[in-house]
Amino acid sequence: MTKTKTAEMTAAAETVRGNIPLLQKSGEHYLDNAATALMPQTVLQAVANYNAETRANVGRGLHNFAEAADEQFAQARATVAAALSAKNDEIVFTSGATAGLNLLANALGQTVAKNGAVALSLGEHHSNIVPWQIAARRGGFAIRFFRLAPNGAADLEEARRIIRGASVVAVAHAYNVSGAVNDISALAQIAKENGAKFVVDGAQYIPHGFAAPEKLGADFYVFSGHKCYAPNGIGVLWGRKKSLAELPDAIGGGGSITEVCEKGFSAAEPPRRLEAGTPPISQTAGLAAAIAWMQNIPQAAKENARNLAQSAREELAKIPGARVLFSGGGENAPNVPIVSFVVEGAHPHDCCQILAERGVAVRGGHHCAQPLMRALGISGCVRASFAPYNNDKDLRALVAAAKEAAHILRR
């Protein structure tokens, strides 16, 4: 890479970093972005503005505050829809990816025949496993898992075999441990050939780039706001209009109906039918601001994050006693900037503790991916996850602290 290019990327990352108040106050090397990302000033301000200036509930009141809240809420929905190249009424606000996946498992689970099957990959986060297991318990159907390839992405041949005859396929767009990005179009095609509904968990992908779920062939797509610079307590469930309309009832309450009487209720049209109760209104203001902010992140800063992750992968692999998991991206298997590793013989929490004492914030444990950990023959690992505000100092601090940890803990 040329010096000019490196300088451009470094400068872009520093500009992005300047937007994050928490990083101005603290010298922390924050590499836990896959758990939750830090919030830029514009997002903090948008949330504060809603609470200070509007505050009202949505979809109910006729007074001025209520009208302003309705307007902001509709705008936020339109912002999310535009980012996903979708229509406004295809966007359902949830409290997070987990809530979206539970809603889908509750609803779609009702459509799976007894003795039918839901197919998942072995790399899924528990949020994309447990809701299906709960639904399977109720519906008497099976959950089948397909393996990952050595680069950490779904093994398509194995997926083809496992998906055969399944009614629902649910898979991550990008994995939270390997960082590998799945070939969603190919998986969508396999699901379609089997007449299965195709659910995509975009929690780890959206922070790094907006997807166009309809174009990718998904029926449903979920993500969480807090991993993409928005507040926590907000998530998005996108569904094709027809797919949303066909979902069996799974939740209900204020706002989700047109009429209720003693005998029953008539459901409202989606998205409100799927947003029972007071939605996370201030959070939608934050999410809309976060999306606007993400759209302005310079490409060079995103590239910088990817390069830092790749350098971390290479540098960590050189440390005696450390082992980087998965072979990583490459041109045909892109990765989001996540690197997971183990120090042989050491507990990941001990490793994280040593890193934390040196101001390096990473995550250790099973990462809510126990089936994957089991398949890898480990109980947990350490994960460093990069964002466009991370810089070379963060990388150096990570590598130096990991060296010390490996030296101290290696048995």
Positions marked catalytic: 368
Q: Is 176 in the site for ligand PMP (CB under 6 A)?
A: yes
CA gap 281, 274 in Å, rounded: 15
DSSP-derived secondary structure for 179-209: -BBP-HHHHHHHHHHTT-EEEEE-TTTGGG-
Phi, psi of 103 (to 5 degrees): -60, -45
- Looking at 200-208, 244-252, 292-300, 310-318, which segment touches ligand PMP (CB under 6 A)? 200-208
Secondary structure element (H or E) that encloses residue 289, with its range: helix 281-295
- Looking at 82-90, 199-207, 321-329, 399-407, which segment touches ligand PMP (CB under 6 A)? 199-207
Among 97, 103, 166, 405, binds ligand PMP (CB under 6 A): 97
- Looking at 123-131, 257-265, 285-293, 315-323, which segment touches ligand PMP (CB under 6 A)? 123-131
Which one, 23 or 172, has the nearer CB to ligand PMP? 172
Which among 366, 404, 396 has a CA at the least distance from the CA of 383? 366
In the complex, the smallest distance separating the C-beta of residue 191 from ligand PMP, rounded to whole angstroms, is 18
Q: Is 127 in the site for ligand PMP (CB under 6 A)?
A: yes
Instruction: Tell me which residues in 1-30 interact with ligand PMP (CB under 6 A).
Output: none
Question: With contact defined as beta carbons under 8 Å apart, do 117 and 165 qualify?
Answer: yes
CA-based end-to-end distance of the chain? 38
In the complex, the smallest distance separating the C-beta of residue 223 from ligand PMP, rounded to whole angstroms, is 8
Which one, 19 or 33, has the nearer CB to ligand PMP? 33
- For residues 336 to 375, the per-residue mask of contacts with ligand PMP, x marking binding by CB under 6 A and - elsewhere, is --------------------------------x-------
Q: Is 204 in the site for ligand PMP (CB under 6 A)?
A: yes
Q: Is 283 in the site for ligand PMP (CB under 6 A)?
A: no
For 100, the token pair is 């979206």
In the complex, the smallest distance separating the C-beta of residue 368 from ligand PMP, rounded to whole angstroms, is 6
DSSP-derived secondary structure for 52-92: III---SSS--SHHHHHHHHHHHHHHHHHHHHTT--GGGEE
C-alpha to C-alpha distances, 203 to 83, 172, 176, 305, 366, nearest whole angstrom: 15, 8, 8, 18, 17
Which one, 342 or 369, has the nearer CB to ligand PMP? 369
Sign of CA dihedral 261, 264, 265, 266: negative
Residues that bind ligand PMP (CB under 6 A): 96-98, 125, 127-128, 172, 176, 201, 203-204, 224, 226, 368
